[in-house]
Homo-oligomer: A and B are copies of this chain.
Amino acid sequence: MTVSRHPFDVDTAVAPTGEHRFAATITDRWNGLTSRPNGGYSLAVCLRALACDLPFPDPLAVSAFFLQPVLPGPVELRSNVARCGRRMATGEVRLLQDSRERLRVVATFADLTPSSGDMRLFTAPPVMPAPETAVDAVGDTSQPAATITDRIEYRMAAMPSWRRGTPTGRAATSLWMRFKDGRDADTMALPMLVDAAAPAVLELGETGSSTLELTVHVRARPAPGWLACRIVTRCVAGGYHEEDFEVWDSAGMLVAQSRQLALLPRR
């Protein structure tokens, strides 16, 4: 067994403590704009636990309900298996901190080994300048507390307008993403990455967003290299908004689609 020293692998590691029980530590190295651990990062820890219980390597369909904020520190994970079939298996994991459930995840795992052929796409990757010529989307505006920007690199056609204090009024954007340490994204990383960019509603002048529920459908194992991502919010109503996130790999394949329902800060 090879032990990865990449931060994503180290910081999502889980240790079995009993049947369907695991211990893990949520680090402060994946904090988002809120200075709290990114939700997708906590989700990735949950999926690592579930992967121990299910005989397939790739998360295929993932739904996470964010019940309470997760803070840096030790967490306990409790899993159960709903069904184990020939082609896929479904299980659940609950993340507890200070004995309170913070996150509940149900996921189906399968084997996404590339298969021959049948691929029909009725959409296309976002059109952006190549990552080599795109600009660092964080740059000088980096906030020291948002440590996730030390782990993930974001590039865009131009510095986002909301960072310059002039939101565009359009909650739709595209960006490149990759791990800063050169680790390529795999199917375990995609459910984290779809939650790791600034929410599109910041371009509507909003100051934040709290995920209530996040669904991720992993469509293929990503090819190595930069990931092209498209983010869009179509409806803000009653304090809630959805956000759709697409991830395209360097081979032009749609590798993940996610949607989350999130709550805007109270004004």
**A interface residues (Cβ-Cβ under 8 A, vs B):** 60-61, 63, 65, 67-68, 82-83, 88, 90, 92, 94, 101, 104, 106, 108, 112, 114-115, 118-123, 170-172, 204, 212-213, 215, 217, 219-220, 232-240, 242, 253-254, 257, 259, 261
Contact = CB atoms under 8 A, between A and B. Distances in A.
Contact of A115 (B63, B232, B238): B238
Contacts of A92: 104
B82 A120 contact: no
Contact of A213 (B67, B122, B215, B219): B215
A217 to B, nearest CB: 5
Contact of A238 (B104, B112, B235, B236): B112
A123 to B, nearest CB: 4
A108 B61 CA distance: 18
Given A65-B61, A90-B65, A90-B104, A257 B242 contact: yes
Number of copies of chain A assembled together: 2
A240 B219 contact: yes
Contacts of A115: 238-239
29 contacts: A63-B63, A63-B106, A63-B215, A65-B82, A65-B90, A67-B82, A67-B90, A82-B94, A104-B106, A115-B239, A118-B236, A118-B239, A119-B236, A119-B237, A120-B235, A120-B237, A122-B170, A122-B233, A122-B234, A123-B234, A213-B215, A217-B242, A217-B259, A219-B240, A234-B254, A234-B257, A235-B254, A257-B259, A259-B259
Contacts of A233: 122
Contacts of A60: 212, 240, 261
A117 B220 CA distance: 41
A67 B106 CA distance: 12
Given A236-B120, A242-B257, A257-B242, A82 B104 contact: yes
A264 B61 CA distance: 15
